[in-house]
A and B are shown apart, each in its own frame.
Chain A
Amino acid sequence: MSALARVNPVTPLLAAVLYSIPMLLTIDVVSAAVALAAWLVVFAAAGIGPRTVLRRAWPLLIAAPLSAVSMLLYAEPAGRIHAQVWLATISDRSIELALAIGLRVLALGVPTLVALVGLDPTRLADGLAQVARLPHRFVLAALAGTRLFGVLAEDWRQIALARRARGLGDTGAVRRALQAAFALLVVALRRGGTLATAMEARGFGGAERTWARPSTVGRADALLLILAIAVAATAIGASLAAGSFAPVWEGAQ
């Protein structure tokens, strides 16, 4: 297990906020590149190798190029113009922005996804209720609900098969999907109702409650928060030093 397993699941949530706010202040290549590099070093030191990073953050490999390409083609042109097709213009400015945006998506997304994907819902609920002090009835009801998702996935398959068996799949795809979705909704409501009864039968709903699994915060949590702030500070500092700091409030010009 990596060092992240010693961190309370609530801490990455807070760390993501502390890190993202300063990182959203500027759109430039230097700060994003420095931050991304810093996180990869931190993760490697914490025993999270590139394979794990890729496995958790792969959607960004699609999201980052997509946002970069749209910047490349449609950002307000400035500097030398390299190509122009109808509304799309590639200029010095748009190349720079595309790089900055693409890197920024990675710099924000990679650490967040690495820390949050694969969080155990039970541990997260324990943390939210015991550390973040959210109302336990709400947290536990949500936790019990997450278990139903797996059950509902199987329900969905059965409903699809059952509709074919009833000879009802010949209508349009949209109508068919809507009807099946309604059937799933009915099943889900009933499952939710029974779950509530089962929970109530086990004494759920009282004001006082104890926790079988302790959820605590310790040095690992403090370290993660400090790291989050430190990486953001280093990145912004580097960007200021390099003179590439581009605050969002100055707009794209």
Chain B
Amino acid sequence: MTGSRIRARGWGWRHAGRAVPAVAGLDLDVEPGERVLLLGPSGAGKSTLLAALAGVLGGEDEGDETGELAVDGAHPAGLRGTAGLVLQDPQANTIMSRVGDDVAFGCENLAVPRDEIWRRVREALAAVGLDVALDRSTAALSGGQRQRLALAGVLAMRPGLILLDEPTANLDPEGVVEVRDAVARVAAETGATLVVVEHRVETWLPVVDRVVVLAAGGGAVADGSPAAVLDAHRAQLAHDGVWVPGLPVEVARGGRHPGEALLVGEALRSGRDGAAVHEPLDVQVRAGEALIVTGRNGAGKSTLALTLAGLLPPVAGAVRATAPLRGELAAEAPIRWRPKQLASRIGTVFQQPEHQFVAARVRDEVAAGLRALRLPQPEVDARVGGLLAALRLDALADANPFTLSGGEQRRLSVATVLAPAPRVMVLDEPTFGQDRRTWSELVRLIASLVDDRGCAVVAVTHDADVERVLGDRVLRLGGER
């Protein structure tokens, strides 16, 4: 199998209904077998380019194309099976219910004969190091396993071009390494051309031999060997949100003044449907202090956080709110509070922002919780305006929350939870998949809530940098990692 050749001349794409093109005037040549890391600020059209190369950008209804784009000399929309695409959300890449069937799906569509399909399925699973039974349920796989499954599904089609759109952004550190190593092995064995979009450069440096940087609304602004591009554009890339190696983010912390305990978990076991997911533990959530909850996948971090947040009833033990948090409420257990009473005391930011959205405009989204509290309109307007400005969302005030980018959605979900000014904030993987810029904004914001406003923060995270900056106290679930 040989790699595909990519050629773009003045290529551009404007999504239907958008004023500004996602990509414009792109000139790019990628030789067969090259392994390219594609960088650029959020909104530079990296995912759009990958979708176009995969031939899934859609027809004239979906947007306007300009210039020319070719994979192996033909427009990619007409090609089937030449390019394989792995998407960021592991859930989105799984099509069939069983591992073997999922890998076979692409081969079936390419009308590969049956015996050949199963030979390829076994080869592909071996190549990505996914050693599970063919009839294993895909629902039972971890995020890292799912992404390797998707890679196997692509590989079995024997594509000349493998396209990876932030394949490790939603994974824990073990999953990241699993997937990266599988990609490296596959690229070396097959000689396929590889294009990867990722913010975390360091992860992919051992795999790629070329870096291309796209500019927002423009073409490529830098192109060359990883070392040359990173050296020449380090500061700009960092500004654009790329995680440039050797340039750690520093977030200054104010003086810490740990105060009174606001929430107390006693012999607490949390879980779903009555089944506990961790051993009993005693935990205190204190004002002016951030508590990091970390641990391996499936250790029950999110479940514990939701239980502390008064959203899930404890399986055993208790969660008590102390008098300073409870105020005039009689019930000590947050799970027994009414939603309004809860939201003004404990705010929760979920892992997937879209689950939280309830309004058609960004402005109304932030106001929703305040209106539920029946605050006067001027007060609502003032708080909404302040939060939107603080989180750089003021320009998007009238946009639909579901149309925002991942980073914007994350910032919005934080703004909505901050609006009723809760004293306790619970955040589930707040930095998952975020670029460096959004990351530092979020971490700064959380730090200032703790240091300046004396809030208590509980953050579930796999992110070692978050733990380094915010880990006033660290709770590690499920033993050593």
> A residues touching B (Cβ–Cβ < 8 Å)?
121-122, 143-144, 147, 150-151, 155, 158-159, 161-170, 179, 183, 186-187, 190-191, 194-195, 197-206, 208-214
Contact = CB atoms under 8 A, between A and B. Distances in A.
A197 B57 CA distance: 9
B380 interface: no
Given A143-B96, A212-B107, 19 more contacts: A150-B139, A155-B355, A158-B350, A165-B342, A165-B347, A166-B369, A167-B340, A167-B344, A187-B354, A187-B355, A194-B87, A195-B95, A198-B94, A201-B83, A201-B87, A202-B109, A202-B153, A206-B111, A209-B111
Given A144-B96, A190-B354, A166 B110 contact: no
B416 to A, nearest CB: 7
Interface in B82-111: 83-85, 87, 89, 91-98, 100-101, 104-111
Nearest to B112: A210
A122 B101 CA distance: 9
Given A164-B342, A165-B347, A187-B354, A201 B54 contact: yes
Contacts of A147: 94-97, 138
Interface in B338-362: 338-340, 342-344, 346-348, 350, 352, 354-358
Question: Which secondary structure dominates chain A's binding surface?
Answer: helix
Interface string B45-84: 0000001001110000000000000000000000011011
Given A170-B340, A203-B157, A165 B56 contact: no
A190 B348 CA distance: 23
A165 B347 CA distance: 6
A185 to B, nearest CB: 12
Which 4 pairs, one residue from A and one from B, show the smallest C-beta to C-beta distance? A167-B343, A169-B339, A203-B109, A202-B106
A196 to B, nearest CB: 9
A166 B416 contact: yes
Contact of A197 (B56, B80, B83, B342): B56
Contacts of A202: 84, 95, 105-106, 109, 153-154, 157
B95 A179 contact: no
Contacts of A165: 309, 311, 339, 342-343, 346-348, 350, 356, 417
Contacts, number: 160
Given A155-B355, A165-B343, A166-B368, A201 B96 contact: no
Contact of A168 (B93, B95, B339, B346): B339
A198 B372 contact: no
Give the one of A168, A191, A208 with max B CB within 10 A. Answer: A168
Nearest to B88: A194
A1 to B, nearest CB: 14
A199 B309 CA distance: 38
Interface string B242-269: 0000000000000000000000000000
A164 B154 CA distance: 40
Contacts of B446: none
